Amino acid sequence: MRIALARFDALVGDVPGNSRRMLDRAVELAGGGADCVVFPELSVVGYPPRDLLQREGFVESCERAVVALAADLLSRGAGGVAVLVGASMRASDHGGPLMNVVALLRGGRVEATYAKRLLPDYDVFDEPRHFAAGSAPLVFACGTERVGVVICEDLWRAEDALAAGHSYSIDPVAETVAAGATVIVCPSASPCAAGKHARHTDILRSAARRGGVPICSLNASGADDDLVFDGDARIVFSDSTAISAPRWGNDALLHNFQVRSAAHESTDSAAVPGAEHAERWHTIVAGITGYFRKTGHTHAVLGLSGGIDSALVAALAVAALGADRVTGILMPSRFSSDGSRTDAWELARRLGMRALEIPIEPAHDALASHLTPYFASAGASLEGLADENLQSRLRGMQLMAFSNATGALVLATGNKSEYAVGYSTLYGDMCGALAPIGDLLKTDVWTLARWANAHCAELGLASGVTLGFATAPIPEASITKIPSAELRPDQADQDTLPPYEMLDAIVRGWIEEERSIDAIAAAHMLDRALVERWTRAIDMAQYKRAQAPVIIRLSARAFGLGRRMPIVMRDVR
């Protein structure tokens, strides 16, 4: 049997478009000699479809598309090939519960379907809300093999999600092997998260060894809203050797099971130094690329402060979209240092992006003068925090005005540490469509910036087209300077916040690890009162995060749909 694991980037909801592209790809691969073509989980509807599944007629359109796709494959000469597509379908022609299925298309018809048996309901997943679980394995003959099908969680069984706290009583892979499978295929739509790829490697190796059969794993590609998929395509054999296609690529992984190559790579190979930084970089770039392409936008705009956060976001945006499609706007005030302006202009020069300077001082003066008497009549004063936030909101207003005038989407430049404790301004620096580093702690921002500078020639588009910066993209001064919002004289972040090494330890422990105050304090030798103060700040800032732009997910516990916290609450500590 010659199998093709077809990398595929579905657009959520675009059933006709997804079906047409899969038809063309399957016909192409069949013409190249494939006996079996595999597409990712829910490839017909895109992942995750969420409540689109509840919209009247949506599921029926998916079911009709699957039937039509089978007929179209036959009419275009690929009817003899087994094509596996992911779809949402009812349990029977007469209705019944909705299921997350893989449909086997062959001979011009839907020959069989397999319904996903393990439905995750943790983190960003909520599949039991929409789907009923399947109950039986599927094994079909194809060439020299008997192919068993499982879907995503059926293989991972929550073992790839460290914070899930889930376990399952059944093992679909073992049951599929017991049903006679000699090869298992596992189409997935598993979003990227720190460390998950390495855990997938271990799980695949263990499952192949335990079952004594090769396992063909195919992940979805591209990005949908906050979720990014790496297109990982691998075949792991029972002796723990493997073949794989480069992550983030578009080409199909092809293999003939009748020809065992001596070139299989070992899954025990040591991790490449800096792989976690490359993974973060590619995940964010793919997230930006996917969001812009799928929303139909082509240009981005962001504020350039001369600081590290906006510098890193600008570099990522240029890598994703190209320098000619990114505009940076410097918005100095009376408190902005000459060094900040110089660093922002130097960044734009290094990246080759367009930049312009629109000072906020005239608008700040005018609005402050206008508001002051009205506030005074109400017994209030436009000083301190109110004036600082006024400056931030003026910058946000200028960015949004530029967006409205040009169609460029605004990229927010806030990081996870700031979003965690509310060190950010609603309708100011939090405005925008997408927050590329909103799931990146401040200390990790510095680390990724240094890594990007050290590997500048290697950095390229998520599509695989090498961009490569001519020089280190981020000015050294932006990395080494003391962080400051520059909203008052001689301001520094650490006037308000603890050192970022301490703050990030608290944020990581409270958000990503769900640890107690005492456990965080003990693990990092921090004062308990300090930890209590800043964990309380994290909880109190939930109302801001509920209004934040879409945050590209990088960690196992990101702000957004994967962390559904109440806005108004009282935590018993």
Q: What is the mean pLDDT of each run of 10 residues along the chain (573 residues)?
A: 97 97 97 97 96 94 97 96 97 81 97 96 90 95 96 90 71 96 97 91 94 96 96 94 91 90 48 79 95 96 96 96 96 87 95 96 95 95 91 95 97 96 92 96 95 82 53 92 76 83 95 93 95 94 94 91 84 63
Cβ atoms of residues 238 and 213 within 8 Å: yes
Residues paired with residue 228 on neighbouring β-strands, in sequence order: 223
Taking the C-alpha atoms of residue 432 and residue 410, their distance in angstroms, rounded to an integer, is 5
Give the CATH number for residue 162: 3.60.110.10
Six token digits for residue 378: 């109400």
Closest CA to 466 of 322, 271, 252: 322
Residues 192 and 289 in one domain: no
Residues 56 and 180 in one domain: yes
Angle at which helix 500-507 crosses helix 528-540, to 10 degrees, equals 70
Residues 241 and 286 in one domain: no
For the sheet with 326-330, list strands across it.
354-357, 326-330, 300-304, 409-410
Does residue 18 lie in a domain region? Answer: yes
Of 260, 286, 307, which closes a domain?
260
Backbone angles phi, psi at 481, to 5 degrees: -70, 155
Which is it for the CA torsion 346, 347, 352, 353, positive or negative? negative
Cβ atoms of residues 308 and 483 within 8 Å: yes
Tell me how far apart the terminal alpha carbons of the chain are, to the nearest angstrom: 59
- 41, 153, 279, 388: which is the annotated catalytic residue? 41
Taking the C-alpha atoms of residue 494 and residue 429, their distance in angstroms, rounded to an integer, is 18
Residues 283 and 255 in one domain: no
> pLDDT value at position 422?
92
Which residue reads 């914070």 in tokens? 163
Residues 205 and 342 in one domain: no
Taking the C-alpha atoms of residue 153 and residue 66, their distance in angstroms, rounded to an integer, is 23
Residues 177 and 137 in one domain: yes
Does residue 528 lie in a domain region? Answer: no
Six token digits for residue 310: 């906006």
Closest CA to 65 of 116, 9, 10: 10
Strand-strand pairing, 95-106 and 109-115: antiparallel
Q: What's the 3-state SS for 60-79? A: HHHHHHHHHHHHHHHHCCCC
Does residue 497 lie in a domain region? Answer: no
Residues 41 and 118 in one domain: yes
Does residue 537 lie in a domain region? Answer: no
Closest CA to 432 of 567, 333, 291, 532: 291
Strand-strand pairing, 82-92 and 95-106: antiparallel
Question: Does residue 62 carry a catalytic annotation?
Answer: no
The long-range contacts involving 447-452, CB below 8 angstroms and separated by at least 24 positions, are 447/277, 448/277, 448/280, 448/281, 448/312, 449/308, 449/311, 449/312, 449/315, 449/474, 449/478, 449/479, 450/479, 451/274, 451/277, 451/278, 451/281, 452/281, 452/312, 452/315
Of 216, 233, 260, which closes a domain?
260
Rounded to 5°, the CA angle 137-141-146 comes to 65
Six token digits for residue 261: 């190559």
Residues 236 and 306 in one domain: no
Residues 433 and 348 in one domain: yes
> pLDDT value at position 269?
40
E strand segments, 370-483: 409-410, 434-435
Tally the domains of the chain: 2
Strand-strand pairing, 241-244 and 233-236: antiparallel
Taking the C-alpha atoms of residue 301 and residue 105, their distance in angstroms, rounded to an integer, is 45
Mapped onto helix, strand or coil, the DSSP state of residue 374 is helix
Of 260, 294, 310, which closes a domain?
260
| CA distances in angstroms from 498 to 278, 297, 418, 444, listed in the order given | 29, 39, 12, 16
| CA distances in angstroms from 169 to 30, 118, 172, 174, 458, listed in the order given | 38, 10, 10, 12, 45
Taking the C-alpha atoms of residue 146 and residue 2, their distance in angstroms, rounded to an integer, is 12
Question: Does residue 416 carry a catalytic annotation?
Answer: no
Taking the C-alpha atoms of residue 282 and residue 554, their distance in angstroms, rounded to an integer, is 10
Give the CATH number for residue 455: 3.40.50.620
> pLDDT value at position 93?
64
Residues 254 and 282 in one domain: no
Cβ atoms of residues 100 and 43 within 8 Å: no
Six token digits for residue 552: 């590209």
Does residue 516 lie in a domain region? Answer: no
E strand segments, 450-542: none
Which residue reads 């002796």 in tokens? 239
- 62, 152, 216, 431: which is the annotated catalytic residue? 152
Taking the C-alpha atoms of residue 137 and residue 553, their distance in angstroms, rounded to an integer, is 33
> pLDDT value at position 3?
97
> pLDDT value at position 456?
85
Cβ atoms of residues 220 and 10 within 8 Å: yes
Does residue 268 lie in a domain region? Answer: no
Cβ count within 10 A of residue 515: 18
Residues 181 and 141 in one domain: yes
Mapped onto helix, strand or coil, the DSSP state of residue 233 is strand
Taking the C-alpha atoms of residue 236 and residue 210, their distance in angstroms, rounded to an integer, is 12
Cα 147 versus chain centre, distance: 31
> pLDDT value at position 309?
96
| CA distances in angstroms from 264 to 237, 245, 255, 556, listed in the order given | 9, 12, 11, 31
Taking the C-alpha atoms of residue 468 and residue 476, their distance in angstroms, rounded to an integer, is 18
Does residue 501 lie in a domain region? Answer: no
Residues 59 and 183 in one domain: yes
- 36, 62, 63, 116: which is the annotated catalytic residue? 116
Taking the C-alpha atoms of residue 208 and residue 235, their distance in angstroms, rounded to an integer, is 9
Which residue reads 């890594």 in tokens? 451
> pLDDT value at position 160?
75
Taking the C-alpha atoms of residue 311 and residue 348, their distance in angstroms, rounded to an integer, is 9
Rounded to 5°, the CA angle 130-216-103 comes to 40
Range of the domain at 94: 2-260
Taking the C-alpha atoms of residue 138 and residue 529, their distance in angstroms, rounded to an integer, is 56
Does residue 514 lie in a domain region? Answer: no
Cβ atoms of residues 503 and 537 within 8 Å: no
